[in-house]
Structure 1
Amino acid sequence: MLFALGGWLLMCWMVYLMIVTARTIPKIWDPYEVLGVSRSADEKAIKSHYRRLSLTQHPDKVRLDPAKNQTIESVNDHWVEITKAFKTLTDEDIRQNYLLYGHPDGKQSYSIGIALPKFIIQEGNGKYVLMLYGIFLGVILPYYVGKWWYGTQRVTKERVLVASAGNLFREYEDGINEGGVVSALSAGEEYNDVLKGSKADSGLARVEQMILADGEKTPFAGGLNVKDVTKLRELDEGVRRKALALLWAYLSRMELKDDELNDQKFDVVPTALALNEAFTTICLAYGNVGPLLASYHTSQNLIQAIAPGQSPLLQLPFFTPAVVAAVEGESARTHMTIQEFMRLPAHERKNRTIGPDLLDSNQYQQAVNLASHLPHLQVEEAFFKVKGERHIVPNSLVQFVVKARIIPPGTVDVPKLDPKDLVDRDEDEDEEDTKAADKKDTSIQPPIAYAPRFARDHSPRWHVFLADSKQGKIAVPPFTFSTFDKPLFKDDGSPTFAVQTFRMQFGAPPQMGRYTFAMHLVCDSYVGFDFKGDVIMDVADPAKAEEMESEEDISEPEEDSIAGQMAALKGGAAPPEKPKKARKPKVQEVQDSDDESDTEGEMDTESETDTDTDSDGE
């Protein structure tokens, strides 16, 4: 506020200076104004007016008036100005000088300068001015330039400190799981700003006592396993240990019974999510599927405040471990996803959820309503293609196309797919549709993720990548999608069921053969919405592919062709032109192999092509 007030005062002072300067600076010399004639006056009128002035303004005719401070000099100067103005408007040479240079005497010399405060140019102040310049150019300016440069060099492109990225790199392990990722994220230097001074140790013993207490459904109340507890106890007391304890308290949704500790608990989570972005990059550098999925799942856990291994049903409002146990049953070995919960018959779902110490009817209805609006992305088709070609050949630019729809859990009466929506035509074959699509908004944002415990608004993102399931390696790095090309929901909140198209490009393997990839589609905001399926790419021999294309292009002779005219001369009519067949890609098999996926059975996949990423063949 003081800075803004100072700015307004400076503005007012500048306006005052402009007004004062406008009053004191000499006006531009104007001969019409000096003579007192209009600019439309002709030469005859100017001469007539000049003669009248000579009768009253000539020094020989003027009677000096002491009351007006008139002197012989002022009267003479005034008459000189009148004469100069008259000649300017009547003498051709003088008039040309005025029109060209703005002055009757021709081009004038001028100088420019900088308006400096008086104390700078006063005698005796030179040494102080030099000292000020030296301090500014030698100390202040280098300090701020260096600070800016250091600030750009001390953070990575993921906007985390370089020191934090180094710590995360040292924490990486090939077999790391979600709990290990949480422990690794506590190594960030950014927590020093959140837990300054005494905050690093204050309340640490209380938090650890609460998260390490015996849990009802888990060995520890904080959701840790034995390995996570060992990692926590190995740390020295300080910022990192306090941050890790607060993260586990947040993931287990534990009330710490202290306002300051609760505030710190929610403050460390956005920092952990930012650090997880950097850890994902490190996992991609190693190229192992397990750590990458663990990092993605940790993002889901942080946003939804669910400890690793806990039920996805905890994402629904009012759901507690006791409600989850009643819904899943005491004998359940695996957790139920929201999709499976919404697929239960309505009466059975109510009987499991509503009751004493569970939910009431209003809470149940709110939970079901939320579940029926979650953006679950269901894959309908996935295939490879090469733009403008029917077959994939070695080292060609392949495009992996995914067709999917947003189908919220529990949706009934899902409309059938239009086969046209699953066809991916090249741009040159569908130019009109492309122009029409360009007119529409192609960046539809999904709804903000439902995450009431996460202290930031977060827009969901979907990651798609291909992996070699046998070796556990990433074959094609992830492509991240955060927008859609078609609306997801109508104005009344119901889904549109529009088929969305995602594309990722990479280079085809250098050898011919059949390649099986595991396709992973992971949402970073919701637990249990992952999809995994097998997709097959056939890389054909270039010579055979060209031969097959030439056979497909053979058609019957047309009337206007030479063969058609020869057939007509022989007495037979030329066979009618056969319509050209649309190029159909070879259907491949995509299997749902993710236990938590909501998609069952097999799905067809086309084998055309178009993309830009190096891929290692099996």
Structure 2
Amino acid sequence: MSSEYSYDKENEHWPFYVIVLTGLVTLPVTYSLFPSKIASAAAPKVTTDFRPKDGDLIASQRKALMRKNRRTWSILIAVGGWSVLIYMSYLIATAHRTPPKIYNPYDILGISESATEKEIKKWYKRLSLKFHPDKIRLDASKNETIEDVNAKYAELTQAYQALTDEVVRENVINFGHPDGKQPFSYGIALPSWLVQDQRVTALVMGLYSFLFLLMLPYAVGSWWYGLQRVSKDGVLMESANNLFREYKEDTDEGGVITALSVGKEFEEHASKIDESHLTKLESRILAEGELGPFAGGLTVKDKTKLEDLDDADRRKVLALLWAYLGRIDLDDPALNAFKYKFAPIAHSLANSFTSIALAYGNAGPILAAFRTSQHLIQAVPPNASPLLQLPYFTPKVIRSIEGDSRLHHTIEQFMDLPDTKRRKLAVGHGLLSENEYKTAVDVSLQLPYFRVAKAFFKVTGEKFIIPSSLVSLVVKGRFIPPGSEKVPEVNEIDLEDIDPPEDDLEALLGKNKNKKIKTVDGKVVIQDETPSLPPKAFAPYYVREHAPKWSVFLTDSKQGKMAVPPFTFTSFDEPITTADGKPTYAMQTLKAQFQAPPQRGQYTFVMHVICDSYVGFDTKMEVTLKVDDASMAAPQKDDDEISEPDEDTIAGQMQALKTGGLSAPQSKKKAVESDDESGTDDDDNDTSETNTDTEDES
């Protein structure tokens, strides 16, 4: 039995092959270009006309980062892939398809399938007389040959045998042909024009070899090497290892900034900075400062760490980071460019350091890492006044506002002052002008300050919290921009956390993230909610657009350890602003689930609500978790337990006759009443929530 090979002459098969190969690449690349549902929503921005001194330089770097993030190669691959897919679809739609041939002896003989064997024989005899080679005459107009006539007669004879001969009929039934098994035919998914020219064939084979023997292993290797080379935080593994070695249990914010200078991501840029610039850099950041000992915001401890570094490149990186945080003009366009370019790199490294600190669980370094992120985004040195985040605010203006106070004013504290007093402190000769003051106030009224109203623990669907149960930390709060006036009072109903219906398993497990449970006319209603995004961070000195994140976690103040790891929130269940940009003051709900301690008792934690984008917007308060004994939980009724029938039913009367009277049900009723009376006091003390002390300690 022979085999036949056929190429695709009518574009029936090879376009499908190309579509499959192209789709394997095009679809994943296209999917990667689409942002997530939340990220695709247009997050609002803080509107202001403020531009810092180096605004043009910052804007150009921001545009360069945006161009880099557009992933030009991915876009080109997606466009090219879809072009190929569309063209192949066109070829398939316009291709001439040859229907598969099914051997049908009735069609060949031209007779009905209902014909009897006698009719078939009679009809075949008539066709034999007509098409027998010895009796038929060749038609010259049709260019008939004796071979054509013989083939026609053989076909008729074979069809007749398929209907009358048992062996031939079995071949048709089993193999679809009177002669039994036919030669295999292999269709090759290549257009025939590719194999007509040997040069084209060699080119195609070379392309196949290049794709499957070179490009495919290279792509897989690059992907695998990339996974091994970069950590989950997006920094080089070598940088993460260096940060791990820099970790100390007493690391403060200045220590974190010093640790960030070990990042290998800086090397390419640091090597371009001339050694002679290092002296200039250090002299600028170590000059006398207006609000601290040094202009760069360093402490004496940080200065010592800088001077102890032996690596010149690392020393240049650290000096530029302090120059960025201190907003020092270096009088050199190249150095100023590096200063702003290093901030996003340092922020990524700070996130990696946060992960390392969380693994150790010491509260001090964790808080220092979170606050370092705030300082890098706002270009504010550690221990500096949060008022530096407002436009046009300088150390001189801040000194006028804070006076001799040892503690810095937060933006909220400053904006809580009467407007006349604020103007008196901030506006004047050498201070802010009226327009600058108005700009600062306008920006403040747009900042998303999350003010916690209540925090408590609960177990969904239960009245008590028992050991090792799944506890929810519920944080209720509103976004109230600093300086907001006529803020509505808190509705006590909004402070309640309503349990979902018992039949809503997804809600009980916390899977329906985009649904909100509300009380409407006394009924529990689950509504679909579109997550609301906070405004993008107002960070005029940061070259990358940043979406604020809020982290909620618990620490043990006695041991200085992390008790519950952070839960991060980037969107909220209620709109933060109206269509015209005004705050809604809607109550927001943040939930963090964790396992309760294995022992009963009262556990006091310190709850931290930290925004990664603004200095001074953090909340710190004590919360108390009460864990009751497991016996306090409502006992579950045994499925195998059979209840006694009611006495007023037929079953109840029959039961009474069997037991000799109606005394048994009556005694049971009394027992129930006794149980109800004994449980009255306990029911009065039961609550579905364990409230906590929510006094703000900050």
User: Aligning the two structures, in what range does the TM-score lie when normalised by the shorter sequence?
Assistant: 0.7 to 0.9
Amino acid across the alignment from 1:592: D
* 1:406, distance to aligned residue in structure 2 (A): 1.4
1:404 aligns with 2:477: yes
Please say if residues 457 and 690 of structure 2, whose CA atoms lie closer than 8 Å, have aligned partners that are also in contact.
Answer: no
Q: What are the within-5 Å matches in structure 2 for residues 317-328 of structure 1?
A: 317-326=391-400, 328=401
* 1:527, distance to aligned residue in structure 2 (A): 0.6
Equivalent residue, structure 2, for 1:246 = 320
Please say if residues 521 and 532 of structure 1, whose CA atoms lie closer than 8 Å, have aligned partners that are also in contact.
Answer: yes
Q: What are the within-5 Å matches in structure 2 for residues 419-434 of structure 1?
A: 419-428=492-501, 434=517
1:363 counterpart SS class: helix
1:591 aligns with 2:695: yes
For residues 359-391 of structure 1, the C-alpha deviation after alignment (integer angstroms, 9 at most, x for no partner) is 443333332222112111111111223444444
For residues 68-92 of structure 1, the C-alpha deviation after alignment (integer angstroms, 9 at most, x for no partner) is 7553334544565577679989999
Match of 1:525 among 608, 613, 616: 613
Q: What are the within-5 Å matches in structure 2 for residues 572-591 of structure 1?
A: 583=687, 585=689, 587-591=691-695
* 1:422, distance to aligned residue in structure 2 (A): 1.8
Distance 1:158 1:108, change over 3 A: same
Equivalent residue, structure 2, for 1:225 = 299
Please say if residues 31 and 86 of structure 1, whose CA atoms lie closer than 8 Å, have aligned partners that are also in contact.
Answer: no
Match of 1:454 among 542, 545, 553: 542
Equivalent residue, structure 1, for 2:533 = 445
1:191 aligns with 2:253: no
**Whole-Å Cα distance in 2 between the matches of residues 542 and 17 of structure 1?**
70
For residues 193-248 of structure 1, the C-alpha deviation after alignment (integer angstroms, 9 at most, x for no partner) is x4175357584444334323333333332222222222223223543223222222
Q: What are the within-5 Å matches in structure 2 for residues 77-226 of structure 1?
A: 77=151, 80=154, 103=177, 105=179, 108-112=182-186, 145-192=220-267, 194-195=268-269, 197-199=271-273, 201=275, 203-226=277-300
**Whole-Å Cα distance in 1 between the matches of residues 108 and 611 of structure 2?**
83
**Whole-Å Cα distance in 2 between the matches of residues 90 and 495 of structure 1?**
91
For residues 474-519 of structure 1, the C-alpha deviation after alignment (integer angstroms, 9 at most, x for no partner) is 2322222222222222222222222222222334444444332222
1:589 counterpart SS class: coil
Higher alpha-carbon deviation: 110-119 or 232-241: 110-119
Distance 1:56 1:360, change over 3 A: farther
Match of 1:266 among 308, 327, 340: 340
Equivalent residue, structure 2, for 1:71 = 145
Unmatched segments (≥5 aa) in structure 1: 548-559, 567-576, 595-618
Equivalent residue, structure 2, for 1:416 = 489
What is the aligned-residue RMSD (CA, Å)?
A: 5.0
**Whole-Å Cα distance in 2 between the matches of residues 51 and 357 of structure 1?**
120
**Whole-Å Cα distance in 2 between the matches of residues 329 and 8 of structure 1?**
61
Equivalent residue, structure 1, for 2:574 = 486
Distance 1:56 1:452, change over 3 A: farther
Match of 1:338 among 411, 426, 444: 411
Equivalent residue, structure 1, for 2:658 = none
* 1:310, distance to aligned residue in structure 2 (A): 1.8
Q: What are the within-5 Å matches in structure 2 for residues 225-374 of structure 1?
A: 225-326=299-400, 328-374=401-447
Comparing both chains, which one has the higher relative contact order based on Cα–Cα distances under 8 Å and sequence gaps of 6 or more? 2
* 1:525, distance to aligned residue in structure 2 (A): 0.9
* 1:292, distance to aligned residue in structure 2 (A): 1.3
**Whole-Å Cα distance in 1 between the matches of residues 448 and 421 of structure 2?**
24
1:176 counterpart SS class: coil
Please say if residues 622 and 695 of structure 2, whose CA atoms lie closer than 8 Å, have aligned partners that are also in contact.
Answer: yes
**Whole-Å Cα distance in 1 between the matches of residues 270 and 525 of structure 2?**
52
Amino acid across the alignment from 1:298: T
* 1:31, distance to aligned residue in structure 2 (A): 7.2
Higher alpha-carbon deviation: 526-535 or 583-592: 583-592
**Whole-Å Cα distance in 1 between the matches of residues 111 and 439 of structure 2?**
83
Equivalent residue, structure 1, for 2:559 = 471
Amino acid across the alignment from 1:158: D
Please say if residues 50 and 86 of structure 1, whose CA atoms lie closer than 8 Å, have aligned partners that are also in contact.
Answer: no
**Whole-Å Cα distance in 2 between the matches of residues 143 and 317 of structure 1?**
50
Please say if residues 531 and 592 of structure 1, whose CA atoms lie closer than 8 Å, have aligned partners that are also in contact.
Answer: yes
For residues 308-365 of structure 1, the C-alpha deviation after alignment (integer angstroms, 9 at most, x for no partner) is 1222122222333333333x14433322111012111122223333334444433333
**Whole-Å Cα distance in 1 between the matches of residues 127 and 185 of structure 2?**
39
Amino acid across the alignment from 2:535: P
Amino acid across the alignment from 2:561: K
For residues 112-147 of structure 1, the C-alpha deviation after alignment (integer angstroms, 9 at most, x for no partner) is 37679979x99xx9xxx99x989987x987666555
**Whole-Å Cα distance in 1 between the matches of residues 89 and 564 of structure 2?**
63
Please say if residues 443 and 484 of structure 1, whose CA atoms lie closer than 8 Å, have aligned partners that are also in contact.
Answer: yes
Higher alpha-carbon deviation: 47-56 or 516-525: 47-56
Distance 1:419 1:36, change over 3 A: farther
Distance 1:142 1:345, change over 3 A: same
Please say if residues 456 and 692 of structure 2, whose CA atoms lie closer than 8 Å, have aligned partners that are also in contact.
Answer: yes
Amino acid across the alignment from 1:444: S
**Whole-Å Cα distance in 2 between the matches of residues 145 and 395 of structure 1?**
44
Please say if residues 131 and 149 of structure 2, whose CA atoms lie closer than 8 Å, have aligned partners that are also in contact.
Answer: no
**Whole-Å Cα distance in 2 between the matches of residues 284 and 185 of structure 1?**
16
1:331 counterpart SS class: coil
* 1:186, distance to aligned residue in structure 2 (A): 1.0
* 1:170, distance to aligned residue in structure 2 (A): 1.8
* 1:298, distance to aligned residue in structure 2 (A): 0.3
Distance 1:17 1:201, change over 3 A: farther
**Whole-Å Cα distance in 1 between the matches of residues 125 and 415 of structure 2?**
102
* 1:295, distance to aligned residue in structure 2 (A): 0.8
**Whole-Å Cα distance in 1 between the matches of residues 630 and 348 of structure 2?**
46
* 1:161, distance to aligned residue in structure 2 (A): 2.4
For residues 261-284 of structure 1, the C-alpha deviation after alignment (integer angstroms, 9 at most, x for no partner) is 333222222221111112112222
Match of 1:379 among 452, 466, 471: 452
For residues 42-66 of structure 1, the C-alpha deviation after alignment (integer angstroms, 9 at most, x for no partner) is 999xx9999899979978554453x
Higher alpha-carbon deviation: 365-374 or 214-223: 214-223
Equivalent residue, structure 2, for 1:537 = 625
Higher alpha-carbon deviation: 6-15 or 488-497: 6-15
Please say if residues 31 and 88 of structure 1, whose CA atoms lie closer than 8 Å, have aligned partners that are also in contact.
Answer: no
